[in-house]
Structure 1
């Protein structure tokens, strides 16, 4: 199940539980979701790794809650999508427009990468996809891509 679908289902289950609780006179409350839904990636951040390579950085999708444990899916448009597109181009050889729009081509690229790295190929970017993907390391001094790890 995609991260976006999981979030929608968890929200729906909570709403149904609240409605039923009200109809039944408060006899029971909504059960919490089995796993907390992740937030949408709404921005991109530059991550510096001062321990393993203090001369490089990674540009990754991030949530407003200051975490990279977030999701992106078709129809979204923001700098988090731009970071994903840039990485798909840099590490996987795509030639996506880095326009920040998660459209058909970005979704197709994500599906292909998901198949390649062995995660569920649903076209939605989330923590499992993030952890399995290679990410580009860029030079602090020149901005050039050094490697993908």
Structure 2
């Protein structure tokens, strides 16, 4: 089943292709402030807070040295897997943790976005990340301890 999406990834690709076609690839253009501030999440990172809880960690979407990134429909990587794992662990979904951001992940994310009071657009970004609760896992066993 093929769907047409208007997500950021498609928009950025389309805009880039159009710009390259118009300019013949001869000019470099600085990215917008939004694009410069938030890149696509590329991997899931283990965050360990040695001060407040030295025996647990969280697994969150990340890019470079920052959790300020975005995910949307059609993306496939370990950052999506981190999001799926958290949707399952803290919100009771039973998504396949396959790292593919498809219809089921989007639907679950929209439901969580409504629950936590952010715009329910199915796109994951800093506002959604900050509003969601995240699972804490034991450093020793890897078992989920809590969600907060």
CA contact (8 A) 2:37 2:68 kept: no
CA contact (8 A) 2:7 2:73 kept: no
> What is the RMSD computed on CA atoms of the aligned residues?
2.8
Unaligned runs of 5+ in 2: 1-5
- Mapping of 1:50-129 within 5 angstroms? 50-63=50-63, 65-129=64-128
Q: Distance in 1 between matches of 2:108 and 2:58?
A: 20
**If you compute each CA radius of gyration, which structure gives the higher value, 1 or 2?**
1
TM-score (norm 2): 0.80
CA contact (8 A) 1:85 1:97 kept: yes
Q: Distance in 1 between matches of 2:145 and 2:8?
A: 32
Aligned residues: 137
TM-score (norm 1): 0.80
Shift of 1:66: 1.9
CA contact (8 A) 2:47 2:60 kept: yes
Shift of 1:3: 8.2
Cross-structure match for 1:38: 38
